[in-house]
Structure 1
Amino acid sequence: MGGAFVAAAVLARLGSRIGLPTIPLFILAGILLGPHTPGIVLVKDPHELEMLSALGLVLLLFYLGLEFHLDDLKAGGRKMALAGGAYLLLNVGAGLGFGFALGWGTSEALVLAGVLGISSSAIVTKVLVDMGRIGNPETKPILGIIVVEDIFLALYLAALQPILSGADSAGAALVDGGKAFGFLLLLALAARYGTKVVSRLFNTRDDELLVISFLGAAVLVAGVSEWFGVADAIGAFMVGLMLGATASGDRIRELVHPLRDAFGAIFFFSFGLSINPGDLPSVVWPVLIAVVLTLLMNVAAGVSAAKIFGFGATPAANISTTLLARGEFALILATMAAGAGLDSRLAPFIAGYVLVLAVLGPLAAGRSHWLARILPGGRDGGGGAGDSPVRDEPPAAKDPQKDAEASVTH
């Protein structure tokens, strides 16, 4: 475990010097130091880190729940919902069609729809901070699209779980689905109407007690969620949603950061351990086709969002490239697919696809002006209200990371 932390940290530090995000580097560390690659093998059996990896997944979704509020979508209004819906329709629809075209199976196609359709919130936020675009006009719809994706993700995973569990009949699938949605509804009602009670339960000035309280609640509800056929990660997401609205929400966000980052790194590292590089050549062409398809759909979604908000070519290009990266959600689906015994080609495909886009996304975002030149109105300097001269200036705030987190939260 210590070797895994150190290896992930060293490789991530090296990659950060050339502007690469940490997620693909953590995965790469797992691949290089796993049992399928010659040289040093830190972990012979990926299952040895299974519990730590599960905890990382729970904490990642718990943190996203803390950041998410239903009021975020209401504040954005109709335009934000339209932009998010258009993004999902284009990308999830293309992913579903691509999955059926591959011919790997219906369950596999449903998994691929989510893999190709959902952006990486972690990488998107990092790109906005690193590029100094927090104050740009197009940042609000970008974060709005992420909010819509979070809502879709919760419903999508709840619906997918009974299918992947292999229910014996349509009736059994409906029962499993009903149990899952019923439990989700119960958690949603608790989040909506039980905030005052929950706030009192977690009201303590002692940081140690608060950490143990929210960590215990997240892991416990995640475990109970599995009993009801809901993915453990979604149970943790709902706990985060509940606690984020309490008086202790801001303190919990600060205290969970190191836990999320540490065990999240182990989750990505552990996923890399399960990847056999020898399997990647067999999925090279599907990965490349999927990457090109995602590029096209993101450009179309970016142009659509820009039209909805009255922006020009430059904001459209920024939206398209910023939302390009895929990461944690794709790996969550890969973990679920592996547990359900789906086609063995899914894991190497998802690993290759995430690695390519997690690297390509930030690089493309930094060169979005190239895309802007070929979009409608780009040769005229953007031609829209959203083209701002401050789009690539460094942020004025002293702590851009907190600004980014505040933007996602509010």
Structure 2
Amino acid sequence: MALGGAFLAAGILARAGARIGLPTIPLFMLAGILFGPNTPGIALVDNPGDLKLLGAIGLVFLLFYLGLEFHTDDLVAGGRRLVGVGALYLALNVGGGFLFGLALGWGWREALVLAGVIGISSSAIVTKVLVDLGRLGNPETRLILGVIVIEDVFLALYLAILTPVLGEADGIGAAALDVGKAFGFLILLASIARWGTRLVGRLIATKDDELLVVIFTGLAILTAGVAEELGVSDAMGAFMIGLILGATKSAPRIRELVHPLRDAFAAIFFFSFGLSIDPGDLAKVAVPVALAVLLTFVLNGVAGSAAARICDLDRSQASNVVFTILSRGEFALVLAALAASAGGLDARLAPFIAGYVLVMAVLGPPAATQARRLERVLPARLFRERDEDAKEQDDAGVPTPAGTRAHTD
């Protein structure tokens, strides 16, 4: 009853929100808050731990799908300049998030979590915005997708480092051993992705969709479990096995078949996170959340403008970059789940992340939609003059061809 009610509550609330253009992620969280044990009224789930395993499976499918969608060709095609721009974007946003975390005075481990929360945007929301607004063919979209890909790479490495650090290993030697195990496991899976995909492809090769679903689900959850046993994030293990299967001949079918599993269990992941949030705690972190939102707009504006200038974009295209990559969502909650499993962190961290994600996930898509109107906040002197032909195409609603791979959510 609890599980069915959770699915239904999340789906109905998200459907209502979709009518006014809101993304699903914050609404799934809101459903967990409204129908959880910390809110008056109907409590579908009295103990958030009851959905812990299903929420973990949702996290596994989220990162597994991300691994399936990741392509090193995206980095190679962009060249050194795109990698440099992505690194600059991360340095400004993640670095600013870390300094903000230190300024809050909650602790340096909490600051490390906040660095990723504030610094990494939501691939799911960003790609959906690009598709919904018909901007996949725009010149600046290649830069946007390049930054998203580089963020994915960074997240994988960040999870590998952060897990043993949050585990509070005894002494420098133990911490080094934990980090070594994490990277050893990472290198092993990366080696399989590089040289063992043919063997893995034979293992999973079947014409029967039912059997393929059973096999890749088993591989994803088993690899996540082994990763967790080794002190590595289960999300990291799921990402890497997705990367491996994404290089096999069965990858297109797997991407299609995993969609409903990802969507359903991800909803439970976001819902279960909302269950653990007390609305009263959100009020206590309202000021830090407001400051973090303001900081995100500033950092994203500086980083996006710098990236656009390096890539020789005009002010309108720069505005699209700045306000499209603004949304924060699933990655912040991945880090929140990691922090919750580590324990021993400041109790204000979880409600802060919840409040921050709710605000940013709601503000991000409308900001991207209104990027043309918001471009006036960017100094015109920083960018080249806008091409008149491009202006006419934009006014007519015709996208400019960019030759980029079309990512879809």
Structure 1 stretches (4+) deviating beyond 4 angstroms?
378-382, 384-396
Shifted more, 117-126 versus 75-84: the winner is 75-84
Evaluate the alpha carbon distance shift between residue 285 and residue 3 of structure 1 in structure 2; reply closer, same or farther with a 3 A threshold.
same
Evaluate the alpha carbon distance shift between residue 226 and residue 379 of structure 1 in structure 2; reply closer, same or farther with a 3 A threshold.
closer
> How far did residue 408 of structure 1 move?
2.9
| Uncovered stretches (5+) of structure 2, i.e. residues with no partner | none
> How far did residue 71 of structure 1 move?
1.8
CA distance in structure 1 between the aligned counterparts of 2:53 and 2:342, rounded to whole angstroms = 18
Equivalent in 231, 235, 238 of residue 237 of structure 2: 235
Contact kept? 1:57, 1:332, Cα under 8 Å: yes
Evaluate the alpha carbon distance shift between residue 77 and residue 388 of structure 1 in structure 2; reply closer, same or farther with a 3 A threshold.
farther
Q: How does 1:8-407 map to 2 (within 5 A)?
A: 8-341=10-343, 342-377=345-380, 383=386, 389-391=392-394, 407=406
CA distance in structure 1 between the aligned counterparts of 2:141 and 2:277, rounded to whole angstroms = 35
Evaluate the alpha carbon distance shift between residue 312 and residue 255 of structure 1 in structure 2; reply closer, same or farther with a 3 A threshold.
same
1:226-276 CA distance string (max 9 Å, x none)? 122110011000000000111000000000000000000000000000000
> How far did residue 166 of structure 1 move?
1.1
> How far did residue 383 of structure 1 move?
2.6
> How far did residue 70 of structure 1 move?
1.5
Say which SS state the counterpart of residue 334 (structure 1) adopts.
helix
CA distance in structure 2 between the aligned counterparts of 1:208 and 1:312, rounded to whole angstroms = 49
Say which SS state the counterpart of residue 407 (structure 1) adopts.
coil
**1:268 counterpart letter in structure 2:** F
CA distance in structure 2 between the aligned counterparts of 1:371 and 1:212, rounded to whole angstroms = 47
**2:24 counterpart letter in structure 1:** T
1:126-176 CA distance string (max 9 Å, x none)? 111111111111111101001100111011110011111110101100001
CA distance in structure 1 between the aligned counterparts of 2:219 and 2:149, rounded to whole angstroms = 24
Say which SS state the counterpart of residue 173 (structure 2) adopts.
helix
CA distance in structure 1 between the aligned counterparts of 2:323 and 2:107, rounded to whole angstroms = 31
Q: What TM-score, normalized by structure 1, do the two folds share?
A: 0.94
> How far did residue 385 of structure 1 move?
9.1
Q: Percent identity?
A: 64
Evaluate the alpha carbon distance shift between residue 87 and residue 223 of structure 1 in structure 2; reply closer, same or farther with a 3 A threshold.
same
CA distance in structure 2 between the aligned counterparts of 1:237 and 1:71, rounded to whole angstroms = 17
**2:46 counterpart letter in structure 1:** K
Q: What TM-score, normalized by structure 2, do the two folds share?
A: 0.95
CA distance in structure 2 between the aligned counterparts of 1:376 and 1:45, rounded to whole angstroms = 51
Count of matched residue positions in the alignment of Structure 1 and Structure 2: 401
Match of 1:408 in 2: 407
Evaluate the alpha carbon distance shift between residue 191 and residue 296 of structure 1 in structure 2; reply closer, same or farther with a 3 A threshold.
same
1:6-27 CA distance string (max 9 Å, x none)? 1111111110010000000000
> How far did residue 117 of structure 1 move?
0.5
**2:184 counterpart letter in structure 1:** G
**2:39 counterpart letter in structure 1:** T
**1:152 counterpart letter in structure 2:** F
**1:358 counterpart letter in structure 2:** A
1:91-141 CA distance string (max 9 Å, x none)? 001000000000100100100000000000000011111111111111111
Evaluate the alpha carbon distance shift between residue 343 and residue 384 of structure 1 in structure 2; reply closer, same or farther with a 3 A threshold.
farther
Contact kept? 1:31, 1:273, Cα under 8 Å: yes
CA distance in structure 2 between the aligned counterparts of 1:303 and 1:406, rounded to whole angstroms = 23
